[in-house]
């Protein structure tokens, strides 16, 4: 195999023209409000990759971008390490439980549930003028317990279904656990990086990752994550709400399309 084929995964020029710009956009969106997978996975699928190869390759490119954003937030002091550590552990446990649930629950049922829940979530984001907590922060112990519980619940969803995980974490960590938007983003990135890398190891061992294409697309994803993380640091909360609303709208459209296909 020559280098060109290795780094393109055998995709034609039109396929790369779809994947690379959309992976940049996915990284930008993911660094700010989560939900980059709603852009990156369809990009791989539109390029003609089979679903299992698309998901596996996406884990490589998204892990690269998420690592950059996580490092940036860590240097900025946005990651409360004790809270993040407990959240990561519970997210991994939840993800394992969610994966097991796929054996007994139908994707159709979860899709219907999400379509009911999404308008409520969108209303909350629109109604709440910003993501800054007006209420005083909770005690350290209660904050830790809530973050761990949220991480487990969203981890179950991530293991079972997945898209929009980062967005839901941001909303719950700011709304329920009362973290400020910067610490919520830091904890979200720590969780996302850990679960992405864990899944990537599984996909690599199963041989469903186009490593060269993942590295090339990952470079674009890194650039998007880097720009998004810098904009988040400077504009912070002002840019989070519109990004989250756009992600939720795209997610809802995808769920409707998927529901039609499942029905």
Read off the pLDDT of residues 40-86 as tens digits, 9 standing for 90 and up. 888 888 888 887 888 889 889 988 988 988 998 899 999 999 999 99
**What distance in Å separates the CA atoms of residue 207 and residue 203, rounded to the nearest whole number?**
6
pLDDT digits (tens, 9 = 90+) for 119-137: 666 666 556 555 555 567 7
| pLDDT reading at 26 higher than 80 | yes
pLDDT digits (tens, 9 = 90+) for 177-216: 889 888 998 999 899 888 888 888 888 888 889 999 999 9
User: What pLDDT is stored for residue 74 in this prediction?
Assistant: 93
| pLDDT reading at 251 higher than 70 | no
**What distance in Å separates the CA atoms of residue 109 and residue 114, rounded to the nearest whole number?**
9
Its pTM stands at 0.75
What's the whole-number mean pLDDT along residues 228-242? Answer: 70
| pLDDT reading at 225 higher than 70 | yes
User: What pLDDT is stored for residue 151 in this prediction?
Assistant: 93
**Mean pLDDT estimate for the chain:** 81
Question: Would you state the structure tokens that stand for residue 131, as one six-digit string?
Answer: 């993501």
């Amino acid at each position: 195999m020559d280098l060109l084929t290795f780094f393109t995964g055998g995709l034609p020029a039109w396929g790369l023209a779809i994947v690379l710009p959309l992976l940049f956009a996915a990284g930008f969106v993911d660094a700010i409000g989560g939900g980059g997978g709603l852009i990156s996975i369809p990009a791989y699928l539109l390029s003609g990759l089979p679903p299992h190869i698309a998901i596996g390759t996406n884990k490589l490119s998204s892990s690269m971008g998420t690592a950059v954003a996580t490092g940036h937030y860590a240097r900025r002091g946005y990651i409360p390490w004790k809270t993040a550590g407990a959240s990561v552990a519970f997210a991994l446990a939840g993800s394992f439980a969610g994966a097991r649930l796929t054996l007994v629950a139908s994707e159709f049922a979860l899709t219907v549930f999400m379509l009911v829940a999404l308008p409520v979530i969108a209303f909350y984001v629109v109604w709440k003028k910003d993501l800054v907590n007006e209420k005083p922060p909770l005690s350290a112990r209660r904050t830790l317990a809530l973050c761990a519980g949220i991480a487990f619940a969203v981890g179950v969803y991530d293991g079972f279904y997945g898209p929009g995980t980062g967005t839901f974490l941001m909303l719950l960590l700011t709304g329920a656990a009362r973290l400020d938007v910067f610490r919520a983003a830091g904890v979200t990135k720590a969780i996302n990086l850990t679960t992405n890398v864990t899944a990537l190891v599984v996909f690599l061992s199963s041989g469903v990752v186009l490593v060269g294409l993942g590295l090339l697309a990952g470079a674009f994803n890194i650039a998007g994550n880097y720009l998004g993380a810098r904009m988040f640091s400077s504009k912070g909360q002002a840019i989070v709400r519109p990004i989250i609303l756009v992600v939720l709208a795209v997610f809802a459209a995808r769920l409707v399309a998927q529901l039609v296909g499942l029905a």
